[in-house]
Amino acid sequence: MVITLTFLSYSICLRYIIQTSWLFLEMRHMKLVFFIIDLKSILINNIKKESGRIMLHSTVIAHGQFVDYL
């Protein structure tokens, strides 16, 4: 009985670890994809507004929360 409960708890913990790590990777991938899309739109807007001058510092300020995921 104790062995069965121990095995069951290990399997539940392992399943939880696998699901959370998969979820973390999915969220990281989504944030990177959204970051790339936003980066492209900001660069295009900067080119239109500044007539060819690209200001990268505005991109860094606007998306500082993505620094951890790169």
Distance of CA 6 to the CA centre of its chain: 35
Which residues have CB under 8 Å from 59's CB, separation 6+? 39, 42, 43, 46
Instruction: Provide the token pair at 30.
Output: 């989504």
Segment 6-65, tens digit of pLDDT: 655 667 666 766 666 666 666 666 666 666 666 666 666 655 555 555 554 444 444 444
pTM: 0.27
User: CA of 22: how far to CAs of 15, 27, 32, 59, 68, in Å?
Assistant: 11, 9, 15, 29, 18
Q: From CA 7, how far away is CA 43, in angstroms rounded?
A: 53
Instruction: Provide the token pair at 45.
Output: 């807007």
